[in-house]
Amino acid sequence: MRAELPSPARLVASVFSLIAGVFLLALVILTVTDVLSRNVRNQSILGTIDISTMLLVAIAFLGLGAAELNGKHVAVGLVEERLPIGARVLSSLLRLVLLAGLAVLLIWGLADSWLNAVDRGDRTNDILRLPTAPWRLILLVSFTIFFVLAIWKEVMVFLQLQKSREPKPMPTSSKPLETDSEAEEVPRG
């Protein structure tokens, strides 16, 4: 199923995952440096909490698309796997509608939040007074990539389930009919 996902979204999700890794490394270096500074100079590095907070937000949300891409999110298929194919198709359709609705609401809200932050020039309340608009943009783009991938995957699942519902044509051959013992050997699934 992975190869069927749109390659631009896959590329962006992979790049975001790489950026999250770089941010995580920066956070580790900043934290270690701050601890060393407190132990050696008895003074913390100015703005460490501001920067750490922003980096944590970016790290958490930049990985959303990659988690969906690689199937590393929480999923429970315990009940659905035991349902008949018709119920699984309906379940997939319901999931698709809910995903699309949630995507519209969340992306709309995040876009509005980002535009408001840009218009007002929002900044953090701490010492460095960092602008919040870039971090809100990261949230907006991360969730957009996540929903594109999630909806795309669900469409593929729905189409695959629909295809498996279609009746299979009867094979036409001049081969004689099976005996009862040969029929028992054929695996059923």
Distance from chain centroid for Cα 122: 28
Is residue 122, in this structure, part of any structural domain at all?
yes
SS3 123: strand
Domain annotation covers residue 159: yes
Angle (CA) 24 28 31, round 5°: 135
CA dist., res. 138 & res. 15, Å (int): 13
For residue 154, is it within any domain? Answer: yes
Is 145 part of any domain?
yes
Asked if residue 173 belongs to a domain, the reply is no
Global confidence as pTM: 0.73
Q: Summarize pLDDT for 25-69 with one digit per residue, the tens.
A: 999 999 999 999 999 999 988 888 889 989 998 998 998 888 887
Which of 53-72 are b and which e, b meaning 16 or more Cβ less than 10 Å from the residue's Cβ? ebbebbbebbbbbbbbbeee
State residue 118 phi and psi, 5-degree precision: -65, -45
Residue 186 lies in a domain: no
Structural domain includes residue 174: no
Token pair, residue 183, equals: 């029929």
Q: Based on the structure, what is the number of domains in the chain?
A: 1
C-alpha distances in angstroms, 5 versus 16, 75, 103, 179?
Answer: 16, 19, 18, 45
Instruction: Classify residue 172: in a domain, yes or no.
Output: no
Span 140-161, average pLDDT = 91
Range of the domain at 79: 2-165
pLDDT, tens digit (0-9, with 9 covering 90-100), for 68-127: 877 766 666 777 778 888 888 999 999 999 999 999 999 999 999 999 999 999 998 878
**Tokens representing residue 111 in the block:** 């876009």
